Chain A
C-alpha cells in the first residue's frame, strides 16, 4: 500500500529562494513528522505545496499514491486537512459554526450538517478544551482560543493526512501540550501528520521523524533521535545550544 502522503523529486521555490530541492519523502500511516526551520525557511510554503494549495517548481506530491494535480479539491479535502497559520473572520460566526465548517468536504452538495456532524464538532471542541464555547462569537475569543478552534476545525474535518502549521503557537503551556497530545494520539491511531513548529523540545517529545529546512534548499530528514542533536540544531538556528539529559530524554537549551 502506498504511503498516505509522499513527495517525489519535490523542489519548492518561494520568492526566488529554494525551500527544498529534489526532496523524496514519505509520511507513513501512524507517523508524525515534524518540520523545523528558522523563520522564512519555507515551512508554511512547504505545507501549502504538500496540500496542493501551491504549485511546486518541479516534482510531485502523492496522496495515497494519487498525484495531487489529478485530484479535484473536494477529493483532496476529504483525505487531507491543513491547519493554516492565520485565519480571520470579517463576518460574525459562532464557535460551533466555525468548527462545523470542517465537515464541508464530507457533506453532499444538497445536504445540511447532520446531528452526527454536530456531535463530531462538539467532541472536537471538547478535545481542545473549548466545551461551553459553542455559541460564543469567534470575535470574542482570545488568540490562543482561536488557535485551538482552528485545531478543532481540522479535527472535525477528520482527514487521513494532517498538515499543521505551528498548531501550538500562542497557546499556554498546558493547552499546547494538550493539543499536541491530541495530534500525537491521532498518529498513534494510524493517521499521518506533518507538523511545522519552533519548539524543539516539543518536537523531541512528539515526533517520529524530523525534517530540517535550512533555508537554502538543503534539508535533513531522519528519525528524531538521530536528527535532533545539538550540532544539527546549532547549524539550523545559528545559535549555540546545550543538550541536557533529563527524564531519559534530550532537552535543548540556548546557551
Chain B
C-alpha cells in the first residue's frame, strides 16, 4: 500500500523524468540545440531554422513517442491484470499481429503510409473482435481461455506476416521490416494518440483499487464486491484500443508494454493507483529516450526504435530484478 503522499511523490518524480526525456529529445538530432534555444523555440522566439527543427520536426515526433510508449505500458499493465499473467504484454492477444497484417498488406501492395496506418488500425480492431468472439463463444471466458485464444490467433497472424514478407517485392521489404520492428518515422500526428492516452488513463484510474483486488483473482474480487464481468470487459476493450492506437502510430514496438510495468512494480510497488500513471509516464519517457537514441546514435542512419528499447530495457530490467529482494 503506497499511501497518497508516496504515490504523489513517485508520480511527480516520473513526470520530471518524462519532461527531461522530452527536453533531451528536442535538443538532439542532426543539429544539436542547446536547452536555452529549445526553450526559446518552444516560446516562439529564436531563429526560424531552430524553430522549424524543434517545433515542427522534433516536437511532434517526441510527443508521438511519448504517447505510444505510454499507451503500450498502460495496455501492458491492464493485460497483465486481465490475464493474471506476468508474461502478458499488449500484443499477447494478437492485436499487433492483426495490425501488422493490415499494414504489411498495404505496404506490400505499394500503398502509402496513410493507407498502411488505416489498415493497421482496422487489422487491430478485427483481431480484437475475433479473439473476443472466439474466447467468449461458450460459457464465460476465463483468463486461460482468453490467453490461449489470443496466442493461437497471434500465431495465425504471424503466419500471414511471414507470407506477406515472402511474397513482397524486394524493394518494399525494408519498409515492411522496419514497420515490424517498430518505427516512429511516420508518427507525425501525435494529438490523437495523446488524447487517447489521456482518456485511457482517466478512464482506468478511478478503477485502480478494483484492479488491485482483481489482480488476486476473479473469485476473490467478486467476493470483495467487485463487479468482475463489466470491469474485465472494460479493461479488455480499453487495452485493445490503446494497443491498436499505439501500433498504428509506431508499428510493433516490443518490450515497452511487457517490461515497463514490471520495472515500475519493482520500484514503486503493485498498487495500481500508482502503477497506472507511473506506467504512462515511465513508458512514455523510455520510448522518447529510445527514439532519440535511434535517431542520433548512427545518424544519418536511423535505427528501428524497437531495437533500442530492447537494448535499453534489457539491462535496466535485469539490474532492477537482481536488486529486488522479492521474486516477481
Contact = CB atoms under 8 A, between A and B. Distances in A.
Contacts of A84: 219-220, 223
Interface stretch (A13-21, A90-98, A168-176): A90-98
A105 interface: yes
A93 B81 CA distance: 14
Contacts of B273: 112
A73 B220 contact: no
Contacts of A74: 225-227
B239 to A, nearest CB: 16
Contacts of B215: 89-91
B206 A112 contact: no
Interface residues of A, number: 39
B326 A97 contact: no
B328 interface: yes
Interface string B1-12: 101100000000
A73 B84 contact: no
Interface string A191-204: 00000000000000
Contacts of A72: 225, 227
Given A91-B86, A109-B206, A100 B1 contact: yes
Interface string A81-117: 1101001111111101110111011010110110000
A77 interface: yes
A218 B257 CA distance: 53
Contact of A51 (B212, B223, B326): B223
A48 B222 CA distance: 11
* Interface bracket on B: 20 to 34
B86 A53 contact: no
B171 interface: no
Contacts of A113: 1
A241 interface: no
B217 A88 contact: yes
Contact of B3 (A81, A109, A110, A112): A112
Interface in B61-89: 80, 84-86
A113 B6 CA distance: 13
A92 B216 contact: no
A140 interface: yes
Interface string B259-290: 00000010001110100000000000000000
A104 B225 contact: yes
Contacts of B80: 91
Q: Give the interface centre of B209, B215, B223, B228 by most chain A CB atoms within 10 Å.
A: B223
Ranked 3 nearest A-B pairs via Cβ: A77-B225, A105-B225, A74-B225
7 contacts: A53-B222, A73-B226, A97-B271, A101-B216, A101-B224, A104-B209, A137-B326
